[in-house]
Amino acid sequence: MLARTMAMFTALTVLLMLLGFVIGWVIGVNPLALMLVGLIFAAILNFVSYEFSDRFVLWSTHTKLITEHDNPMLYGIVKRVAEQANIPMPRVGIVESAQPNAFATGKGPNKAVVVVTTAILKLLTPAELEAVIGHEISHVVHRDVLVASVAATIAGTISFLGQMILWNSMFGGFGGVPSRGRNQNDSAFILLIIAAILIPIAAMLVQLGISRGRESSADEAGARLTRKPQELINALRKISSKASVNQWNRQNAPSPSTASLWIVNPLKGSSWTELFSTHPSLEHRIKRIEKVAQDLGIWVA
């Protein structure tokens, strides 16, 4: 999985550099210099995104941080799983919502937050909830928030550059810039437009591939950590059958940018989010967990 993730990050970087090269070549700026500027810009955005991502996520999801006194059962489960994973006790949060769901955020094991909705506390058994927390703690252990933040930032940078090119082309911003012949200018302009459309789409598909890969890894690692593959399968089935975008109201609906963090896509039922899925299919996830169960010698139904 690490090799696959690194390959996808390499693909994102290449796409960013390729778009910078095309822009530089068309507008007459040193392409290599523009590629370098793009990489530096992406690095700065990565740092800012990673440094403040947890605060943004907690704010945008309307998470209320709790103490052990507020919910001893939930707090106790998180503490037990964190000890099994050999990481410091994460902060615990609850989101008031009719949709059963959960997510983890934070810059790493020392600054993690595990969050669940009020609905999931009512829907799952304690053992199933522990399996879900195992999934989220696995995200923390493997620093998936960092991975997701970097991937989203690079893909976002590519998308921003693509939109900038399209807007400038609509208003003639690149008209006549290249000092070539008429036919060469037209060809370069067409190439730029094609690159501005296709490269951001490719970047988004790579980003979604990274997101789906990290979810599968967290399923497997969580099942191994808690030794509760059957309970995790049960939980995913229950959550998937109940989760719907209609369960959020306007006041507490999560931002689409946080969709990949939740154990199940919180915006299921939205045509846009269903078109480009941030999570593997339920069937795929169950098959991966069943393989873990076989390795552990645990029978699952």
Which residues are annotated as catalytic? Answer: 136
Structure tokens of 76?
């106790």
User: What are the start-end ranges of the E strands in the chain?
Assistant: 64-66, 91-95, 102-106, 112-117
Task: Give the helix, strand, coil percentages of the chain, each rounded to 5.
Answer: 70, 5, 25
Asked if residues 146 and 5 have their Cβ atoms less than 8 Å apart, the reply is no
Contact present, 117 and 260 (Cβ < 8 Å)? no
Q: Which of 143, 142, 146, 141 has the alpha carbon at shortest distance from 86?
A: 141
Element spanning 23, H or E: helix 2-27
CB within 8 Å of 158: residues ≥ 6 apart: 12, 15, 16, 19, 199, 200, 203
Give the total residue count for the chain: 301
Cα–Cα distance for residue pair 121/294, rounded to 1 Å: 29
What are the tokens at 161?
């550059």
Give residue for tokens 């902060």. Answer: 91
Residue 176: which region, alpha, beta or left (left: phi > 0; alpha: psi -120 to 50)?
left
C-alpha–C-alpha distance, residues 271 and 265, integer Å: 12
> How far apart are alpha carbons 141 and 147 in whole angstroms?
12
